Copies of this chain bind each other. A is one copy, B any other.
Amino acid sequence: MPSFIGSALRGNFFLMLGLWWSIKYPIKYILLKLDSGNPHSHWIHSMDIIEGTMKAFFALGGILAEQLVPGGPHLSLYDSKAQDWVQLMSWPHMTMYLFYGFSGVADVLVHTSLKLPVGLDRLLLALALFAEGFLFHFHDYKDAALTEHLYHLMSIAVFGAALCASLEVFQRDHTLLELFRASLFILQGSWFWQIGFVLYPPWGGPGWKQEEHGNKNFLTMCFFWHYAIVVPIYLLALACFRTAKLAGAGTEQWELTLSRGFKLPTF
């Protein structure tokens, strides 16, 4: 049964995005520094377009993987023999990837010649996150109390990132928000791995017992221990960014901007 692989792939999708952003945003600021006065550097645009393309590409890969892995639904949605829906959690995950695909397409549109309003990329990222969050929130897990608990815990990371991206629609280029969002993606990614280990142990055997409330309470803590490992990565990324900033000159304006928030760098 391919469920562990599916969960790991989902985890990698989010880990990749989160780690990439933890690298990208410090780099972006170095680049913006070096050619100050030219706020729309070609390098940064290229990075954004490549990011969007990759996101759309991996989302497409995710959609195909959810459908076509052995044991997946292979695009059949209703089993007329059994008179029931064919779902197995694959279809909701496919829908999740679909919205991240839209987000990738919007990234490209915003930064290429079509030039749609710039906040649009963050709005569609927020949309993808809200869609993911509500998909798992409104899902009926029947008696699988532990599965439900695992996805409910994940929704903290999902809705947190969604709120973060929504704020960024109005307040772009706020370093703390961008790296906070990155940290929540890393958390979500590592949690998908955890879900795989709990529900479909790769070394075989059944998943953890769904009914035992001891499991529920341990996993609640475990979720926050994941984040307790993410936080140092986050601080490290901020330190990188800081070093990048110190390397540049004329940082007074910067200081002000960062410490007071809600005002944009003038570069």
Binding site for B on A (CB under 8 A): 77, 84-85, 87, 91-92, 95, 98-99, 102, 106, 109, 114-120, 123-124, 127, 131, 134-135, 138-140, 142, 149, 152-153, 156, 169-172, 175-176, 180, 212-218, 220-221, 224-225, 227-228, 231, 235, 238-239, 242, 258-262, 264
Contact = CB atoms under 8 A, between A and B. Distances in A.
A99 B134 contact: no
A172 B260 CA distance: 7
Contacts of A117: 175-176, 238, 242, 258-259
A225 B135 CA distance: 11
A251 B59 CA distance: 35
Given A221-B95, A235-B109, A242 B116 contact: yes
B221 A92 contact: yes
B220 A135 contact: yes
A108 to B, nearest CB: 11
6 contacts: A85-B217, A116-B242, A134-B224, A139-B217, A140-B217, A142-B213
A118 B217 contact: no
A239 B119 CA distance: 14
A212 B138 CA distance: 15
A95 B225 contact: yes
Chain A binding surface SS class = helix
Given A156-B134, A220-B92, A239 B116 contact: yes
Nearest to A241: B117
Given A85-B214, A138-B220, A224-B99, A106 B235 contact: yes
* Most-contacted residue by chain B among A115, A118, A156, A220 (CB, 10 A): A220
Given A140-B216, A218-B87, A116 B262 contact: no
* Most-contacted residue by chain B among A85, A117, A156, A216 (CB, 10 A): A117
A32 to B, nearest CB: 15
Nearest to A257: B117
Contacts of A169: 176, 261
A220 B139 contact: yes
